[in-house]
Chains A and B, each alone.
Chain A
Amino acid sequence: MEREEAAGGSSRGAAGTDLSVELGPLHLRNPVMNASGTCGYGDEWPALTQIAALGAIVCKTLTRDPRPGNPPPRLHETPGGLLNSIGLENIGAVQFLREHLPRLRSLGPRLILSVGGDAPEEYAACVRVLEDGSPDAYEVNVSCPNVAYGGLAFGRSAAASAEVVRAVRRVTERPLFVKLTPQVEEITVIGRACLDAGADGLTAVNTFLGMAVNVEQRRMVFARGVAGLSGPAIRPLALQRVWDLARCLNCPLIGVGGILTARDALEFLLVGASAVQIGSGLLRDPARAARVVQGMDEIAHRQGIGRIRDLIGQLRGAAPSPDHPAAPADGS
């Protein structure tokens, strides 16, 4: 009971399911979060987003200093997905603390601050500022495909990812989750390096690299050429990465990639994620994540599942991995 109150609300759904999960050191009243960058800083339209119903709120990625982001156009819809090139536009850590953190704190869910930077020391400097806000955890974004420095350049290298994690770990004892890019040959190698460097868990996955061309004008749609693909088009790809990480690494996982419905979210839980994030779906329906919480409760109730956490990882060992045939099924 004490833990439920600490998490800011009931962990039991209207249909009676115990939705609470343990995400490493974090107790969440339910396993649903928004994905970074799809719900602003989290506090802008609480009535519209129903964000107070989530297990955790993830803010838009913050950098130490404000960033203007990329020039327009920044979005391009694709069959089944969405390309974006926002470029980490944000108001900077100091202004965030002043203008958003107090209200976010009052909403109830766990608060996870997403952080980015051009260099390991910049990630650390950002976190050092944000420590004053006492967040529940950080999500270290080493996977943004839309910036020239940092971002994906770190996330594609195990050594560089680990260096970022070590730099952040030196300035905080709070739980750290590292958001991984799927644009690597072997995601488990990057994940393991992050854990060895002090991360508590992993968020998988950030957007896939994509591109679009304006045929009429015979030019790239995006100024940078490349952009990040999200949406249901990437869901099976993201699911496979999460399963691979779950098989090979014994760590808390947050699954993300094209989840629109509660059924989608349960896929990720079954392959080994302890929590999920909803991104693109929030753009059409800002209350989508809150509705996924309800939907999970109803599906679990219909299936006679009393505790949602009992589903986590049920399929982790259900098939041999083509990449890791010898990996232990339970990850231990």
Chain B
Amino acid sequence: MSAAPCPGAGQGEAVSGSAPANAPAGILSNQRIARGVHWLELAVPDAWGPPVPGQFVTLTPEPAWDDRVAGDAGLALLARPFSVAAFEAEGLRRRLGILYAPIGKVTRRLSELLPGGTLGLLGPLGTGFPLEGERPVWLVAGGRGIAPLLFLSQELKRRGRACSWFYGARSANELVPLPGIPEGEVRYATEDGSCGWHGTVCDLLATCETGALPSVMACGPRGMLAALARWAAERAIDCWVSVEETFGCGTGLCGGCALPATGDDPRYLWACRDGPVLRAAQIAWRAWRTNGARCGCT
């Protein structure tokens, strides 16, 4: 099995991928891989994607609206965004991997779906991480924010770039096993000290020597990313983050996922269209007010 080539590589900035498609996808597998964490594998058409690491899809577990009957919101009116956690091509088969936690009504319904079923899929959407470059890459994850970084690390390794993992959570039982990542490559941090460094992942980074000036690529809760952005800015480190606001359409058609930008331009960034991967320095972190209930990539 080989990884599909990624478009848009080598531009030195957040990259866009293929045009999104809007079609049902077949469920190949859907299982719990750790406490509170599930892995969903979808079969997508051979013309689908390929996605760039950092891009996302929206999923709806409900069937398409039937035009013969009155339309209702069902479980939820909106589809939900999920980072692409894996994408593999084998001949004409395309497999899309999604890591999720069944914490809301939609994700709980997702966790009940069986192989052989279908769900609504829109994507790939948004921007991806820059893949080209010479610098070593520090992958910094918080909680379930590992999802896009799993796919990213796969692509970076294919390009021969050195990667180091820094992975933080509140407690050891919130750390998600990293499939395919050797334990020795990961440095852990937990706020309660139950695994690895006692403190936040940014506390851990502060103890590390950054002489080789890495590129940092990160995904996690808002607070973690804001702290990471400060840490990177103080050291003039190239830092990319994958962010989430409450998404409406996921395609840049509704303008619902605005977040404040730095600089003099009063225009907002749209997390789904300008992101989800942005330079950390593009975001006015202090001004970014949110209803704050969701984080990362669930």
Contact = CB atoms under 8 A, between A and B. Distances in A.
Contacts of A73: 245-246, 289-291
A185 interface: no
A263 B68 contact: yes
Contact of A40 (B253, B291, B292): B253
B72 A232 contact: yes
B69 interface: yes
B257 A295 contact: no
B79 interface: yes
A305 to B, nearest CB: 14
B114 interface: no
A85 B30 CA distance: 36
B71 A232 contact: yes
Contacts of B267: 66, 68, 89
B278 to A, nearest CB: 14
Interface string A73-92: 11111011110101001000
A285 B22 contact: yes
Contacts of B246: 72-77
A29 interface: no
A81 B73 contact: yes
A262 B79 CA distance: 20
Task: Give the dominant DSSP class at A's interface.
Answer: loop
Give chain A's interface residue range (CB within 8 Å of chain B). 35 or more
B293 interface: yes
B266 A261 contact: no
Interface string A50-80: 0000000000100000101111111111011
Contacts, number: 169
Interface in A207-238: 214, 216-217, 221, 223, 231-233
B120 interface: yes
B65 A49 contact: no
A224 to B, nearest CB: 12
Interface in B32-81: 58, 60, 64-73, 76-79
Contacts of B245: 72-73
B276 to A, nearest CB: 14
B73 A86 contact: no
B68 A295 contact: yes
Interface stretch (A100-108, A109-117, A276-284, A318-326): A276-284
A285 B65 CA distance: 9
Nearest to B270: A89
B268 interface: yes
Interface in B212-251: 245-249, 251
A286 B291 contact: no
A264 interface: yes
A45 interface: yes
Interface in B109-129: 120, 122
A45 B20 contact: yes
A97 interface: no
B293 A216 contact: yes
Nearest to A82: B77
A31 interface: no
B154 to A, nearest CB: 27
A137 interface: no
A294 B65 CA distance: 13
B253 to A, nearest CB: 4
A298 B253 contact: no
A281 B266 CA distance: 30
Contact of A68 (B68, B69, B256, B268): B268
A68 B261 CA distance: 11
Contact of A261 (B70, B259, B292): B70
Given A216-B293, A262-B67, A282 B253 contact: yes
Interface of B: 19-22, 58, 60, 64-73, 76-79, 120, 122, 245-249, 251-260, 266-268, 287-293
6 contacts: A37-B254, A39-B253, A73-B246, A232-B72, A261-B68, A281-B65
Given A72-B245, A214-B291, 4 more contacts: A262-B68, A263-B67, A282-B253, A284-B58
